[in-house]
Amino acid sequence: MKELHPIDINKLTKTQQKIVDAALDLISHVGYKSTTTKKIADQAGVNETTIFKNFTSKQLLIDTAYKQHTAQITNEVDEFFSLDFDNTEDLMRKAGRFIVEMYNRHRTIVIGTVKEVGNENMKSISNYKEDYVKNSLCKKLKSFSSEHNISEQEYETIVYIFNAATLSLLMDNVRKEYMEHTNESNVGLDDIIEMMLKMLS
């Protein structure tokens, strides 16, 4: 693959940001392959030439978009898990709300990443830091180890299930938005948190 010349994700112009947002929205709806620079230009309200003047290639544009959101998610996760929590229950309840809200804020990057698993064109692009979220929660949870009697492997398993379950809530909401007939799920965030707390007790 041709080497890309990175763009400073902290110094995007308004036009560049519009293009980035349009690209991510399209990928989350139609996938990487169907997200053409022509469609991106139409959605962003710019000329297709403007895209290449700013990013030189579709791959550099997508790379920039993913890196920007990855950095934002990392900062949000670091800020949240630097807070103090009273105990395991306090941590899990607040972490559940935080993760769901964060996934919703960055839904285009989350959905796009899930949809493009296995896409060769996406291998060089950082994912939306699901592992970073899991590792951060696991580390914080272990700080309350005196409240639990579980192994290292059990911590990792619980956090894996917790993250997957919260991510599934976002995917369920997406399906409801874009499909006329969906099976209604009675499982909510509070149900997931309660189950995780039982596993930790």
Is the pLDDT confidence value at 182 over 80? no
Q: Residue 8: pLDDT band by 50, 70, 90 thresholds? A: confident
Q: Residue 1: pLDDT band by 50, 70, 90 thresholds? A: very low
Mean pLDDT computed over 171-194: 74
Taking each helix axis as running N to C, give the angle between helix 58-81 and helix 14-30, from 0 to 180 degrees, rounded to the nearest 10: 90
Supply the mean pLDDT for the chain: 86
Taking each helix axis as running N to C, give the angle between helix 48-55 and helix 14-30, from 0 to 180 degrees, rounded to the nearest 10: 110
* 8 Å CB contact between 44 and 19: yes
* 8 Å CB contact between 32 and 120: no
From residue 175, alpha-carbon distances to 70, 103, 108, 183 in Å are 24, 15, 14, 10
**Predicted local distance difference test score (pLDDT) of residue 3:** 44
Mean pLDDT computed over 75-88: 96
Q: Would you give the DSSP letter of residue 118?
A: T
Mean pLDDT computed over 118-144: 78
- Contacts of residue 45, Cβ cutoff 8 Å, sequence gap at least 6: 18
Mean pLDDT computed over 117-131: 62
Choose the weakest-confidence range: 57-66, 79-88, 112-121.
112-121
**Predicted local distance difference test score (pLDDT) of residue 160:** 94
Give the range with max mean pLDDT: 100-104, 157-161, 186-190.
157-161
Collapsing DSSP states into helix, strand and coil, what is residue 180?
coil
